[in-house]
Amino acid sequence: MPLQPSSTVTLLISCPDRQGLVAAVTAFIAQHHGNILHLAQHVDQTQGVFFMRVEWELSSFDLPRDEITAAFAKVAQPLGMTWTIQYSDVRPRMAIFVSKQAHCLYELLSRWQAGEWQVDIPLIISNHRDLAGVAAQFGIRYMVFPMTPETKAAQEKEQIALLREHHIDLIVLARYMQIVSPDFVGAFSNRIINIHHSFLPAFIGDRPYHKAYERGVKMIGATSHYVTADLDAGPIIEQDIVRVDHRDTIDDLVRKGRDIEKLVLARAVRAHLLHQVLVYNNKTVVFN
Amino acid sequence: MPLQPSSTVTLLISCPDRQGLVAAVTAFIAQHHGNILHLAQHVDQTQGVFFMRVEWELSSFDLPRDEITAAFAKVAQPLGMTWTIQYSDVRPRMAIFVSKQAHCLYELLSRWQAGEWQVDIPLIISNHRDLAGVAAQFGIRYMVFPMTPETKAAQEKEQIALLREHHIDLIVLARYMQIVSPDFVGAFSNRIINIHHSFLPAFIGDRPYHKAYERGVKMIGATSHYVTADLDAGPIIEQDIVRVDHRDTIDDLVRKGRDIEKLVLARAVRAHLLHQVLVYNNKTVVFN
Amino acid sequence: MPLQPSSTVTLLISCPDRQGLVAAVTAFIAQHHGNILHLAQHVDQTQGVFFMRVEWELSSFDLPRDEITAAFAKVAQPLGMTWTIQYSDVRPRMAIFVSKQAHCLYELLSRWQAGEWQVDIPLIISNHRDLAGVAAQFGIRYMVFPMTPETKAAQEKEQIALLREHHIDLIVLARYMQIVSPDFVGAFSNRIINIHHSFLPAFIGDRPYHKAYERGVKMIGATSHYVTADLDAGPIIEQDIVRVDHRDTIDDLVRKGRDIEKLVLARAVRAHLLHQVLVYNNKTVVFN
Amino acid sequence: MPLQPSSTVTLLISCPDRQGLVAAVTAFIAQHHGNILHLAQHVDQTQGVFFMRVEWELSSFDLPRDEITAAFAKVAQPLGMTWTIQYSDVRPRMAIFVSKQAHCLYELLSRWQAGEWQVDIPLIISNHRDLAGVAAQFGIRYMVFPMTPETKAAQEKEQIALLREHHIDLIVLARYMQIVSPDFVGAFSNRIINIHHSFLPAFIGDRPYHKAYERGVKMIGATSHYVTADLDAGPIIEQDIVRVDHRDTIDDLVRKGRDIEKLVLARAVRAHLLHQVLVYNNKTVVFN
């Protein structure tokens, strides 16, 4: 495949902080005539950890793509770096999990179909039949895995196999009303994004809008986070809120909440797809 | 005292919902030639409770001020109404409690001094000497009540006596870093407004910015609420948030938080002073 | 058709302000045993105009539906009221106009398909073929009217005929990149809603994101308004903004702008469909 | 003066974009054992201009302070850089200009007095006597320069002399209701910050809240910008908005606007004081 002129390489780095890290990385890029498009770095002073995201154009870079990893390893190893390299012309593959509510699914699919995201979506998985029609509208395979306490373990095993078979890089839980098991989470660590319909850590668990209504809050929120074994406790990628008042019933909270749920989820998915997110210490660094 | 042309009367009502409530109240006002400036009503359908706020001009009203209460009682009693009447030309009296942080105090005092609020502020009370200078700048009496576990009960008793002696209608805890006792709360029910530096019910209790930092949230909040015997669990009047990201240290959260704390508190105090707030069921109806 | 238990009637009123207006309207409703669900009123003191929206349940109301208008006219006429009556079980009919961008169209159609709005959408009209596929996905007729300066007058005449034939109540310009003529506007006065991709009155006309980029603003906006003969100058229904910074290219502004365009448009359409909007003096009163 | 351990040096750079710029700057810092605290860079692709802000600790840096400029010049000159160097322990000197409204002045002074900003404020200048008392409260000299069309040129000349005599680095127009002349602007280029009470470029000039009310907008804004010879057309540093609706009178817009004016101005002043702002092409790059 001929290289597109606009193809870029993105390097994500974390390591113990020390002097000269930015200099070492940018010297490597400059030496091979890379033209930097975006560079951001962050130091967590309390933990002494350094983070960096740098994206440069491949067109002028004088290393062949299959030699970049080995070449950069020589820079990275002495400095104790953990790092990944991603190419903008390699489309990641995303699976979407849903239950009965359509708004987040529409949001993701309409962005995908309008060409807003460079991603393939080969699969939509659900525990219910309800949204098969939406998947059909967009021409995407829809698989139903009904869940009961008895079948859950076996169903998840099948799901994992299916996801691997389809080389899925990212799983998006788009209002999927099932708690995924630690085994499932372990199989896709930091690659499962959920949308929770509250301003976490407020209103963890089920029925957050009911709880928000009971508490009489003046704003409701939505939180997108990586899924971990602890319920609604994973690293937060993005949050937003919307104002409510005494006139809003629970149905109104649900309705207003949908609009921020779908936007917050879309922003988190975009950040992940553009390799802008680093996870450490159950928190995220989002270089956007 | 001659009536100012702009004086208004504000009626706040709550009662079991039934047909004809708005008609009954507005007929009373129309019959006495009152010119309605603001009218808002709300029905909590789940509880079957009716709320109303109506404000009209006194100038054209044909009942003398000292007869209004008795006259309206005849309307209200058969309908089971709980109600209050307030006059815009009666200035409420407010006491401010502070500890060491000045930003909320400056916010309240500068609005008061600029004439933004119709309120008297005869007293600032603190458990520390630190802000005596600020009170002096604005010419307000500053009283220090040091607090230890041993002296707290006695000190609060003195505070209550002092507040009563000064005919204080509203107490504002402007980053007052003491938990007030149930006895104190009971003495000023629904008349103590606090500012808590988190988006309640997230991060109840002390050090909310530290907890927010630990959790890695992408927004921090502030909540103003009436104080009840349960810590940070009283009826919420107003909330707001500000966006943060991975670059923000705890000091940054504290700094950014100050700006929303002071605005949220100011909005809550204003709503109370304008008689826009009704409390029921540990929630508020804010007619603003 | 049997009356649904949840059917409501909504009365929208404007008239010269005077004493007793709320009393007169609510007495009419109470006398016929109507149970008020929502009531809001507003007085523009500078113009001396009174506005009111009141919604009550039909189930307990003792007037037959076909007598309500005549009965209320007896109340309204002596008070000089302009008014409309709407029933919640009568579904309005909406046509959507688009050009090449899909995001607003997806937003409207996904809400409609998910049952969020009580509306029929018999027609999508465009000056381009591009979005025929989206219309087909949702099973809605898509009509193309190519526009040139020469054909515009004739094409609009045909559009008007088509819209009338389909009994269209509301026209939504969902990023329709054509200026509609005064004749077209006149045929659907206060029934054409547009979304403009700027914070009006900033950046009127074409290429607002380019202008925003040139000016170096730190926020971009979107405005939904009723269309009048003056370009981008009609009564504003809803606005919102999103933060941008120096890193955002024009493409980024376009991308970020899409998210607020579609939400602002959806909120404006919802307010119109729920009969919450009154227009006067080239401004709106939105009772939401 | 012994160096504080926390003292930092901040380098602000702009130059034509080319490969190796970040590498060159960070190599210089690393070579002298500087520990980078913050680094941000930006490339305006349309103009081919590179911007960078880098802040590092002085404590470990092995160049004496008085040699840094000369040493860095050797790096900067071949690359065609425009650059400035600032030290965090050098307090800038700020003058505030006001007219009759106090809210922005209180905001700035209370932050300064609470120690939030490292800045000296030797002077408050006004065209009216009204706020002399506020200045006195905070112990700052207050100078009145009445302005008439006839005296303006002479008065400004005196102001310039006074500002120079006091070695003023930054002038903040905190709701100063006078248009400063091109000569005055020229004397303090990119060092005069204004707050305009609208969302620029909407409602340029006087009475923006009246214009906003007339237009029926659903949000009002505030804009802080560097002053240039063109009215309200200088480089924008910060903007924000607040929601309004049909119930808000002009007085309400003024009241709500005050809260965002003072916060927007404070954020802009802070960014300037921390050397986070670069101006080019009548726009700003704000590295915050």
Is the Cβ pair B30, C40 closer than 8 Å?
no
Whether chain D has a CB inside 8 Å of the CB on B137: the answer is: yes
Q: Is the pLDDT of residue D153 over 50?
A: yes
Is the Cβ pair C23, B27 closer than 8 Å?
yes
| CB B15 within 8 Å of CB B82 | yes
Assign B2 a pLDDT band (cuts: 50, 70, 90). Answer: very low
Strands (E), chain B: 8-16, 35-44, 49-57, 82-87, 93-98, 120-126, 141-144, 170-173, 192-196, 219-226, 236-243, 277-280, 283-286
Give tens-digit pLDDT for C3-48: 444 899 999 999 999 999 999 999 999 999 999 999 999 999 999 9
Q: How many CA atoms lie within 13 A of A151 on its CB side?
A: 9
Instruction: State chain B's mean pLDDT as an integer.
Output: 95
Confidence at residue B72, expressed as pLDDT on a 0 to 100 scale: 98
Q: How far is it, in rounded angstroms, from Cα B196 to Cα B211?
A: 14
Whether chain A has a CB inside 8 Å of the CB on D39: the answer is: yes
Query: Domain C8-87 has what CATH class?
Result: alpha beta
Instruction: State chain C's mean pLDDT as an integer.
Output: 95
| CB C222 within 8 Å of CB C195 | yes
Percent of the residues in chain B that have a pLDDT greater than 90, as a whole number: 97
Q: Is the pLDDT of residue A154 over 90?
A: yes
Q: Which of B242, B232, B186, B187 is nearest to B212 (CA)?
A: B242
Assign C172 a pLDDT band (cuts: 50, 70, 90). Answer: very high
Whether chain B has a CB inside 8 Å of the CB on A199: the answer is: yes
| CB B218 within 8 Å of CB B241 | no
Give tens-digit pLDDT for B239-266: 999 999 999 999 999 999 999 999 999 9
Percent of the residues in chain D that have a pLDDT greater than 70, as a whole number: 98
Assign D3 a pLDDT band (cuts: 50, 70, 90). Answer: very low
Q: How far is it, in rounded angstroms, from Cα D106 to Cα B106?
A: 8
Whether chain C has a CB inside 8 Å of the CB on A114: the answer is: yes
Q: How many CA atoms lie within 13 A of A9 on its CB side?
A: 22
Interval D9-16 mean pLDDT: 97
Interval A172-179 mean pLDDT: 97
Q: Do domains D8-87 and D93-286 have the same CATH topology?
A: no
Q: Name residues whose C-beta falls within 8 Å of residue D245's C-beta, 6 or more positions apart in sequence.
A: C286, D218
Q: Edge-to-edge strand order for the sheet containing D170-173?
A: D141-144, D120-126, D93-98, D170-173, D192-196, D219-226, D236-243
**Radius of gyration for chain A, computed over Cα atoms and rounded to the nearest angstrom:** 21
Chains that touch D (3 or more CB pairs under 8 A): A, B, C
Number of Cβ within 10 Å of residue B78's Cβ equals 8
Phi and psi angles of residue D181, each rounded to the nearest 5 degrees, phi first: -75, 160
| CB C279 within 8 Å of CB C227 | no
Tokens standing for residue D32: 């002298």
Give tens-digit pLDDT for C95-145: 999 999 999 999 999 999 999 999 999 999 999 999 999 999 999 999 999
Q: Is the pLDDT of residue D110 over 50?
A: yes
Q: Is the pLDDT of residue A104 over 80?
A: yes
CA dihedral angle for residue B109, residue B110, residue B114, residue B118, rounded to 10 degrees: -30
Q: Is the pLDDT of residue C1 over 80?
A: no
Interval C216-237 mean pLDDT: 96
Is the Cβ pair D102, B116 closer than 8 Å?
no
List D17, D130, D206, D232, catalytic entry: D232
Whether the CA torsion D208, D213, D216, D217 is positive or negative: it is: positive
Q: Is the pLDDT of residue B196 over 60?
A: yes
Is the Cβ pair D286, C200 closer than 8 Å?
no
Q: How far is it, in rounded angstroms, from Cα A156 to Cα B269?
A: 53
| CB D208 within 8 Å of CB D196 | yes
Give tens-digit pLDDT for B7-35: 999 999 999 999 999 999 999 999 999 99
Interval B136-147 mean pLDDT: 97
Tokens standing for residue C118: 């009580």
So what's the ipTM on this one?
0.94
Coil, helix or strand at residue D158? helix
Angle at B100 between CA B98 and CA B105, to 5 degrees: 45
Number of Cβ within 10 Å of residue D5's Cβ equals 9
Percent of the residues in chain A that have a pLDDT greater than 90, as a whole number: 97
Domain range annotation of chain A: 8-87, 93-286
Q: Name residues whose C-beta falls within 8 Å of residue A59's C-beta, 6 or more positions apart in sequence.
A: A3, A5, A6, A7, A35
Q: Is the pLDDT of residue A76 over 50?
A: yes
**Radius of gyration for chain B, computed over Cα atoms and rounded to the nearest angstrom:** 21
Interval D200-220 mean pLDDT: 96
Residue whose pair of structure tokens reads 């009531």 in the numeric block: C39
CATH of the domain spanning B93-286: 3.40.50.170
> D78 to chain B, minimum CA–CA distance in Å?
33
Tokens standing for residue B187: 């003495």
Which of A:6-25 have CB within 8 Å of D?
A: 19-20, 22-24
| CB D282 within 8 Å of CB D235 | yes
Q: How far is it, in rounded angstroms, from Cα C208 to Cα C224?
A: 14
Confidence at residue B6, expressed as pLDDT on a 0 to 100 scale: 80
Tokens standing for residue A207: 């029925």
> B126 to chain D, minimum CA–CA distance in Å?
17
Is the Cβ pair A110, C106 closer than 8 Å?
yes
